[in-house]
Every structure is written in structure tokens, then in C-alpha cells.
Amino acid sequence: MSGAPAETGRRVAIPLGGPGPRLLIGGLALLLSLPVLVVLGSLLAPDAEAWRHLAATVLPDYVANSLLLMLGVGLGTLVIGVGAAWLTTMCRFPGRRLFEWALLLPMAMPAYIIAYTYTGLLDFAGPVQTTLRAWTGWGHGDYWFPTIRSLPGAVLMLTLVLYPYVYLLTRAAFLSQSLAVLEVSRTLGNGAWRTFLRVALPLARPAIVAGLTLALMETLADYGAVQYFGVSTFTTGIFRTWLGLGNPVAAAQLSALLLTFVLTLILLERWSRRQARYHQAGQRHQPIRGYRLSGWRALGAFVFCLVPLLLGFLLPAAQLGAWSLSVAGTGLDAGFMRLTLHSVGLAAGASLLALVVALLFAYAQRLDPSRTVQLGARLAGMGYAVPGTVIAIGVMIPFAWLDNGFDGWMRATFGVSSGLLLSGTLFALLFAYLARFLSVSLQTLESGLTRIRPAMDEAARSLGLRPHQVLWRVHVPMLRGSLLTALLLVFVDVIKELPATLVLRPFNFNTLAVRAYELASDERLAEAGPAALAIVAAGLLPVILLSRSISRSRHVHSA
């Protein structure tokens, strides 16, 4: 109606009702940030002797290898991610519509699993070298073949599964760029290459940096691939220091040093966004006129997109399928079903818990966007930027301290031992998952709530509904899509998580990720196939849904 007042979208603060709810939000935020705070607090009591030993022996290798790994993965993900994003967004060539969503499939392949598959494919006894020797008649020592279990091999494996972070965000940025700006570039005589370099690439720089930062944080957090390839990095060093040297304090301090690397990446990403604010206006929703490629250009674009998809998903998935079929009679037994139930049960429990806590924080920010509540939400969600190894140590140290303290009191008072009540239990594991992945649910629900107009809250309150009734009766039905997305993303992250599960799982309690790691470490790669394939299959659904959502955002017309 013409006489209706305009919707301003202004957020209306509704007090939480005294200091109690704010204290609850603050206390919960401090509890969830405890692992990170414990690790950072370890720097206040350094173990000088352990540090001297580490600095004289392995610390330089940890730093050098971590930096080289970041450099290699950073360059690889930039080239593949940005190049593929531009080709699938602005160019027309055979197979483009398939590549739009298929290029995200390697995101479902954990780095440690792709490392196992390529080791099985390319090792001396693998099918590639075996076929090579059969064709040529060569024997051992007659030829040179690249070693996959090396630092360059780790760079390649991580690049193949992490480039989708850059591809996803960069493509979303290209899709949202103003059509007017691109058309002006065309009228000035710039072709596809010049438009890409001079216009589209600078405008997409914040998104590119954000995707690169995510890829580099995942690189620093990786344990399974680098450990299997024998590359000494911070994550492998933390395990060796804790389990090998039996020095949890030094391991926590190594974790704190690794955490400084991660925080540096986050700060650089934030700084980049502050320095590069590009406002795009006008004709944003008009169809993009894509560049039609033909001849060798079309073939080059097809091959450029096919290679990372082939190497990052199709070949490893085929190898996992072949291994799974080869052990179908023995690998898919009651033990495998028990592993699946453990993994699914943990993932379901952690995702539901994260969903409830994230909804509490997100709705608290909507009701009371004060600095206290905002800071609490940010503290609670900072665990996602922290590697699982660091989270595990940050959980184990205070839980072990509490267990030992309570056990000592029980012995002194009642003459009985309480045993381990927190350490090595499912509670500790679920708490680590919650601290690590809460941000995934929180950001998803925050985004969903911002799309609900404040007028809806005001109308519901005017009808006499209390805040919790507004949430349940109004917001939850409107947030079904966001709730399902948040649940699914955490579910998949938990199924794939390896370091935290390795450290904190109860005795004789395995998951699919741990079992695949154990079998691969024993060089029983074929037997690891079913568990690894199940993990990959679990990650496919959210990847496909994510790809379809961005593909529908804007249609591309040929030039």
C-alpha cells in the first residue's frame, strides 16, 4: 500500500531482563573460550629447558616447514581458485555448468584421506608404478619417480582439497560485481583478460583474501596428511612433544606459538578488508554477459577446470571405491557399523548441542546488541580459527587438573579414588567439538536472523508474546533453512575431525576418521577405504547444496 510506512530495518533492543541473562551469556562464552585461553596462558610459565631442547633440535624445522607449506598451498589455491572462479562465472565453454558446482567437490575430501589414496596410487607397489614397470620392463632403481610422501607432496594434497575455499568466495564476489563496471571495461576496448586483471580481480580482492586465509588456517591445522607424509610441522610437533616427550606444558606452548600464526592470518585478513572497501552499485541483478570461448581457448578452459576436479576428487574417490569393493567381504562387518554409529552419534550430538548454544547467542544478540553480549558471542566463536590439536590440549589440561584435584580430595577425605570423570570421556570430546565448531552454527544463524525484519519481533511482542515465545513461534519456523544448514555443516565437520578425536576419545573408542588414520598408518590402505569413503560421502551433501545456492544467485548469458 502506498500509505504504509517504510521498513527501516532498525534493530530494536529488547533488554534481556536484568544482569542474570548477561552473566549467563558471559559465563558461557568464557567457558567455551577456555581451551584457547589455557593455551595462551601457558606462555606465562615457560619451560626453559624444554624450549632450549626444542629450539636446538626441531623447532627450526617446524617453523620452516609450516611456512613453506603455507607458501606453496597459498600459491596453488590462488591460481586454481581464482582462475576457475573467473572461467565458470564470466566465460562460456563446454562443461561450464557442470564445473560450476563440481569444482567444489574436493571440499568433501579431507586432506588426510586424499594423502592416503595418492600414496596407494603412486607408491612403488601402487598401480601407477606397477603399470609403468610392466610396460617398460624396468626394475627397482632403473627409473626415477617423484616421491609423494614429501613436503611438495603435502603441498599438492592440501592444495587440491583447499582451493574450493578460494573458488567459492571468489566466484560469489564475481557474481555480485556490478554489470555496469564490467560493461564500461568492455566499451573501453578491454577483452576478457584485461577486464579480469584490471577490474574484476581488484574488486574481488577482499573475497580472495578471505578465502586464502581460510585455506591457510586449514593448512596450519592439518595433522593427518603432514604426519603421514613425514613432514615436521607445528601440529606434528605438538603430538610428539606431548606423547613422545611426555611434556604437556611444552606442547601447550608450541600450541600457543601455532596460535600466534593463526591469529596473525586473521589480523591480516581483517586489515585487508579495512583497507579495501569497494562499493558496487547499480544493475547488480541483471544477467552477466559471459565471454564465449572457442577453439583452443575453450579447450584450455575445460582442461584448467577438469584437472583440479579430476585430481582432487574423481581419482581419489575412484580409488577409495575400488579399495572398498576389494574388502567388501571383510571390511564392512559389525566393527565397521559400530564405527559408523560412533561417528554419526558424536556428530549428531555435537551438531545439536552447537545448534542450541548458537541459537542462544544469536538470539541474545538480537534482543540486546550490547557490547557485553557481542563480545561474548565473539569469544565463544573464536575456536573455529584454532586447530583441533590446540583445542584438544586446551581441553585436556584443565580437565586433567580438575580430575586430579577432585581425586586427591576424595582420597584424602573418603579414602576412595574418583578416577577420571572428565578426561578421556565423551563429555570432553563433545566439549572440544562445541568449542571448535560453534562458530559455524553461530554465523549461519546470525545471517538467518538478520533477514528477519525487526517489525516481526515488535508485532509478536505487541500480541503479548514473551521473548522466548517469539523465538519459538516466529523465528524458528522462519529459520528452518538456516537451522538445517548449521546442523549439517557442524555434522560434517565433526565426522572429518581427526586431531581432537585422536587426543580426547575414550579408551577403546574409535570413529571412522580415527580408524582410517590407524589403518593407513599401518600401511593397510585398502582396509582404510570403506571408512575413508564413508567420510567423503558424508561431506558431499552440504557441498552440493552450497554449490547450488550460489549457482542460482545469478544467471550468466553468453556475449
Q: Which domain holds residue 498?
A: 329-521
Q: Please say whether the beta carbons of 367 and 13 come within 8 A.
A: yes
Same domain membership, residue 432 and residue 469: yes
In a domain, 387, yes or no: yes
Between β-strands 91-92 and 556-558, what pairing exists: parallel, antiparallel or unpaired?
unpaired
SS3 301: helix
User: Is the domain of 506 the same as that of 559?
Assistant: no
Tell whether 55 and 185 lie within a shared domain: yes
The confidence score (pLDDT) of residue 25 equals 85
3-state helix, strand, coil in the chain (%, to 5): 75, 0, 20
Does residue 5 form part of some domain? Answer: no
What global pTM score does this model have? 0.83
Sequence length of the chain is: 559
Question: What are phi and psi for residue 92, nearest 5 degrees?
Answer: -115, 120
C-alpha cell at 82: 581464482
Tracing cell 593448512 back to the chain, one arrives at: 219
DSSP 233-286: -HHHHHHIIIIIS--HHHHHHHHHHHHHHHHHHHHHHHHHHHH------S-TTS
Residue 317's identity, in one-letter code, is: A
Cα distance between residue 216 and residue 452, in whole Å: 34
Distances (CA, A) of 528 to 52, 161, 366, 502: 39, 19, 46, 16
- Domain at 56, CATH number: 1.10.3720.10
pLDDT attached to residue 58: 86
Cell of 398: 584443565
Dihedral sign, Cα of residue 449, residue 454, residue 456, residue 457: positive
Domain match, 437 and 303 both = no
The amino acid occupying position 263 is L
User: What pLDDT does residue 239 have?
Assistant: 87
Most distant CA atoms of the chain, gap in Å: 87
Whether 57 and 109 map to the same domain: the answer is yes
pLDDT score for 280: 47
Total domains, the chain: 2
List the one residue out of 445, 477, 473 whose CA is nearest residue 459.
Answer: 473
Q: Is position 39 within any domain?
A: no
Block residue for cell numbers 558446482 = 101
Residues 280 and 315 in one domain: yes
Q: Grid coordinates representing 244?
A: 613422545
Looking at the structure, do residues 272 and 390 belong to the same domain, yes or no? no
Q: How far is 532 from 260, CA to CA, in rounded Å?
A: 32
Please check whether residues 322 and 333 belong to one and the same domain. Answer: no
Alpha carbon separation from 489 to 153, 443, 492, 539, 541 (Å, rounded)? 28, 11, 5, 9, 10
- Residue 240 is predicted with a pLDDT of 86
Count the neighbouring beta carbons within 10 Å of the beta carbon of residue 72.
Answer: 18
The amino acid sitting at 391 is: I
Task: Give pLDDT tens digits for 384-419.
Answer: 878 888 899 899 989 999 989 998 888 888 888 887
Quick one: 272 and 340 in the same domain? Answer: no
Instruction: Report the 10 Å Cβ neighbour count for 148.
Output: 20
Give me the pLDDT at residue 14, please.
Answer: 52
Look at the alpha carbons of 39, 115, 107, 354 in this order and tell me if their dihedral is positive or negative. Answer: negative
Residue 313 C-alpha cell reads as 576428487
d(CA 58, CA 250): 13
* pLDDT value of position 4: 42
Domain annotation covers residue 150: yes
Are 372 and 22 in contact, with CB atoms under 8 Å apart? Answer: yes
What pLDDT does residue 376 have? 85
Single out the residue of 157, 315, 322, 309 nearest to residue 224, CA to CA: 157
Identify the helix (H) or strand (E) that includes residue 289: strand 288-292
**Cell (9 digits) for 450:** 538478520
Residue 86 lies in a domain: yes
Specify if 77 maps to a domain. yes
pLDDT along the chain (559 residues), means of 10: 43 54 84 89 74 83 93 95 89 88 90 93 87 86 86 96 90 69 62 67 79 87 92 90 78 85 77 54 51 86 95 94 81 78 92 93 85 84 83 90 90 84 90 91 82 80 80 83 83 89 89 91 88 88 70 49
Cell of 465: 508474546
Residue 8 lies in a domain: no
pLDDT of residue 187: 63
Q: How many CA atoms lie within 13 Å of 36's alpha carbon, on the beta-carbon side?
A: 22
Domain assignment of residue 367, yes or no: yes
Cα–Cα dist 375/369, whole Å: 10
* 3-state SS track over 435-446: HHHHHHHHHHHH
Domain check: are 247 and 393 in the same one? no
Same domain for 362 and 292: no
Report the chain's terminal Cα–Cα distance, integer Å: 40
Q: Which three cell numbers stand for residue 3?
A: 500509505
What pLDDT is attached to residue 286?
52
**Do 439 and 503 fall within a single domain?**
yes
Q: Are strands 288-292 and 556-558 parallel, antiparallel or unpaired?
A: parallel
